[in-house]
Every structure is written in C-alpha cells, then in structure tokens.
Structure 1
C-alpha cells in the first residue's frame, strides 16, 4: 500500500466507500503508526471503517465498547477466580504443602483473562477499535492515553507486557461530550460528515446490490431530506448511513422496487428510532419527503 488511493481501492473491495479525505487519514495513520480518531454523528461509518480496515489488513478486530463507569480492569485483564479456586482445591486434595509455590501458581498466565486492551497488545497483527470513547469517564480517557503512548501494560503479578508490533488503533466518538485535547493530540483526527446524495446512493448500491437503482436513489434522497430539516423542526435523531442501509434492506425484504408513501409509512421504524420523529415526518407528508421536498 503506497498511497491513499491504494487504501481507498482496498476499502472499496470491502464494500466501504471512503472519500479522499478519509482514505488519506487512514493511510497516514497506518504509515505513521498513529491512532486514528474518528469523530462524527452516529451512523456515518466510523465503526464500519475499523471493520473494513481489519479486513484489508487481514487482522482480527478487537473491540472495546466504552460506557459510563468503564474502568481499567474491565479493559485490561482480570483473574479467572473460579479456575484459581479449582486449582487451589485440587492442590489441597493432592496434599501440596508448599504455600509459596501454590501462591505463585495461582497467578500464572494461564489464569489471566485478557480483556480488549491486553488482547490487542498480544495479538499480531490486530486492529483495536475503541468505540464511543465519549461515553467513558475522564479517568478512563486519561488511562487510555497512557496505554496508547507506549503500548505497554503492567501486570503486577507477572510483569510488563509490551506490544512487539503496536496494533492499528481506531478511536471513535459521537461527540456526546468533548474529548480532552491530550488524547486527540496523540491521534490523527478526522471528522466524518454525512455523505453527499451521490455517494449515499453509491454506498447503498454497493452494500445492497439487490436494491433497485430507483429505490436506492429514493431512499438516499429521503435520508438527505430528513437530515436537512430546518432548525425548528429538526429531528431528535436524524438518520445516518446505517439507517439508510437498514431502511433499504427492509424495503428489499418486502419486495419493494420503489419507495411510495404507503411502504414508507410501514417501514419508518427502520430509519427513525423516535416516535416523535416518526409523527413529525408523517404529519409533514410522506409524499413530499419521497419527492425530495
């Protein structure tokens, strides 16, 4: 892989259509061995890019899903207490009297449960996806920064684990809160926008080749209209590309070759996930939405 264009082509083979800016950011992250920080609204393809990169590199995708209350132990490792207890009982039954030896055996590597961060450091090659970092607490964000600085983890009972080859790291954020500058400085940053109408049609056609061309065009245009609602009537959750794909897949499953008001009404749950949004769209008229406003 010698250029962003090469990466763009390889991603296309995985049914991920990256624009020039995203392909360049991904290429530089690989070439410079820096984490790639992707920010944007939900459903624009951040997580999907990590999956496509893993497929391109022939590496397993190791995902750390962030959430409020996530701590270092849940992301790093844990000890398999049930297995340790079984080992202890078996040793007692066998009459093992060497306490020091037994204690050392209890904290052997075989009893260590590797969580995503440790898995990524020990797996070569690998792609580590730190998904929705904005949902984690400030303390975990600071801890993650420390890990990404030198790709080293300390296990007190065993010593230091250092990655022979650092994993490819993709960090995503839906910007529900601002992520600290220190973490962003460690990464290459790219903001993902919703695709243009033409690119969205291409994405739908690429991911769902069974969809009729007219249907793909209508869904893409309707999704564009839903995102462009005026400020006073903005949706609680405008659809992303993921929802456009879900909507198209639902329509194809129903045998639809084109989008009409009746079919749109019964499949709105695939594209709009709030009752208030569905009611607002129905009130404004589904025919106007399908016709492009």
Structure 2
C-alpha cells in the first residue's frame, strides 16, 4: 500500500523547496522511494540538520495531518498507543450502579472512554497523514518492540475493541540522533537516510532563502565561519537553524561583514555551552575563513 504523494524525485525536491526545505538529491530520492514503496523512513544524523523539519515539510506539501510521537526516556505504550480514561470510567460505573456489570463493562470500554495516542491516531486516520516518531533513540527498547508491531502491518489490537487496521497507510518518518543503536529488526523495516550538515553551497542557499535581504557575500561568510566552528571539537556544533538565527542576528545588527568584534559578540547565538564559546574565541581565525 503506497501513499502516492509524489510523481518523481524532482517533484519531491521542487515541492519541498516551496516550503523552504531545500533537499539534497539523496533526501529527495529517499523520500520518493519511501512514498512509492510504502516504507517507513528512518532519518539519522546529528541534532539540528533538519530531520524533524523534513517530516513537517512533507506534511505541508502534501496537505497531510502531522501526528507526532515525541520519544523520551520512560515513554510507554499508554503514551504512544492508547489508554483508557479511568476517571471517566469510574464516573460511569458510579452512575450505573443499578445496571448489570456486563452492561456497564461494555459501555466503559467503548470509543467514548478511549484516549487515542499518536500511533493509534495515525493508524485510524482516514485523511492523509504523516506520522513522525521523533528522537526514536531516546525511547526504551520496549517501544521499539511496539513500533515493530505497528509498522509491520499498520494495525493494532485493542483487546476490548478488537483489531484496528489502517484504511489509509500514513507516511512514516522516524528520526534518530544516534545516541544509542536502534535494533536491526527496526532498521530492516525502514528505508535509511543519513542527514549530515549540508554542503557549503546548499547551506548558503538555505540562509538566503530563510533570511531575505541578506547580502550574498555576508551569507557566504556566515556559512564559512559556521563550517570552521563545526570542524572544532565542540560539545555541540551549531545546527542549520542556528546558522539561520546568526544570519538574522547579523542583519538585525546592521553588520555587512564579519569583524572579530561582531563574531565574538554574537557567538552565543551559535554556541550554547560556555566551554565551546571560549574554545571558539581562542581558536577561530577569521582570516583563514
């Protein structure tokens, strides 16, 4: 079962660009194949390279509903799949004391009392849907097992209601910062895409697209300096979003070039740890970039 959102690889690139997401050839190709083959897409790479934004852009250009499961340590099946509204069930039981237990039980395990979480919501959706399972590597191994079950058949069994199957398969994007290794079983069910920081030319185009009015020369300088910072052994390298924020900062300050004073005074826009700022201030050679 395919979603059929895109006609070709070029169609992917062109439509994503309409949202401001400039996709590399590898990204556009993998998105097209995931759409055509009906396979989940596992996007891995460092934080801040646009993994989550890719899912949002696909949802935007296809007019799809975006359903997001944000993973974190301790997220469980109730938060990912579904749970029952116990407070409401208790009120119903109290109100129906004169009824038989069989009647009450049938009622309290009905749709009215079901709290649908992201995975079940995406499976039940009759409209075009993009399911984003964000930062999958932060979840416990048990959630991977749940994802395997859901992504294999796109169906879920709710014991009290029966099996719920997708009538329209969602376009699925799983993201990972590779903080831990995901299981081979989960990887096998997905198409894999590694997204790294963009090449200099692509990042310059991103900056110019996101920061209207910035001079071409200043945009090029911004990207070169950010590239030099990423080459340092920093605790947290600046993301693409932080490159854009820095370009906006420079524009707001009226800077038309990168002086040492301007760069050192605005490093906090790019770097979020004091040790990184100290290292950059000591090692960054503007003359070399």
Q: Deviations over 1:175-213 (max 9, x none)?
A: 111111111111111111211111101011112224333
Distance 2:10 2:243 in 1: 26
Point out the more displaced range, 50-59 or 136-145.
Answer: 136-145
User: Can you give the 5+ residue segments of structure 2 that lack an aligned partner in the other structure?
Assistant: 1-5
Aligned partners of 1:2, 1:77: CA distance in 2, in Å? 35
Distance 1:87 1:251, change over 3 A: farther
Q: Is the counterpart of residue 276 in structure 1 residue 281 in structure 2?
A: no
Cα distance in 2 for residues equivalent to 1:214 and 1:16: 22
CA distance in 2, matches of 1:33, 1:46: 19
The alignment status of 1:144 with 2:147, answered yes or no, reads yes
Is 1:56 the equivalent of 2:55? no
* CA distance in structure 2 between the partners assigned to 1:78 and 1:185 by the alignment: 29
Question: 2:244 matched to which residue of 1?
Answer: 245
1:103 to 1:181, Cα distance in 2 relative to 1, 3 A: same
1:36–1:171 Cα contact (<8 Å) kept: yes
Alignment of 1:78-157 (within 5 A): 78-92=83-97, 96-123=98-125, 124-157=127-160
Q: CA deviation at 1:245?
A: 1.6
2:218 maps to which residue? Answer: 215
CA contact (8 A) 1:197 1:221 kept: yes
Q: What residue in structure 2 maps to residue 261 of structure 1?
A: 260
Alignment match, 1:173: 176
Distance 1:256 1:110, change over 3 A: farther
Counterpart-to-counterpart distance in 2, 1:15 and 1:274: 29
1:9 to partner: Cα distance: 0.3
Q: Secondary structure at the match of 1:64?
A: strand
Partner of 2:46: 41
What is the deviation of 1:48?
Answer: 0.7
Alignment match of 1:184 (pick from 184, 187, 191): 187
Q: Report the counterpart of residue 228 of structure 1 in structure 2.
A: 231
1:252, CA displacement in angstroms? Answer: 3.2
Which secondary structure state, in structure 1, belongs to the residue aligned with residue 96 of structure 2? Answer: helix
How far 1:77 moved relative to its partner? 0.7
Matched, 1:2 2:20: no
- More displaced stretch, 250-259 vs 196-205: 250-259
What is the RMSD of the two structures over their aligned residues, measured on CA atoms? Answer: 1.6
Cα deviation, residue 11, structure 1: 0.4
Is the Cα contact below 8 Å between 1:132 and 1:171 reproduced in 2? yes
How big is the shift at 1:255? 4.1
- Give distance in 1, aligned partners of 2:246 and 2:92: 52
Describe the superposition over 1:204-250 as per-residue Cα deviations: whole angstroms up to 9, x where unpaired. Answer: 11122243333322221111111122xxxx11111121221222233
Whether contact under 8 Å (1:222, 1:292) holds in the other structure is no
TM-score by length of 2: 0.92
For residues 18-58 of structure 1, the C-alpha deviation after alignment (integer angstroms, 9 at most, x for no partner) is: 01111000000000000011111111111110000001110
Q: Could you tell me how far apart the structure 2 residues matched to 1:31 and 1:75 are? A: 26
Contact conserved, 1:51 with 1:61, CA < 8 A, in 2? yes
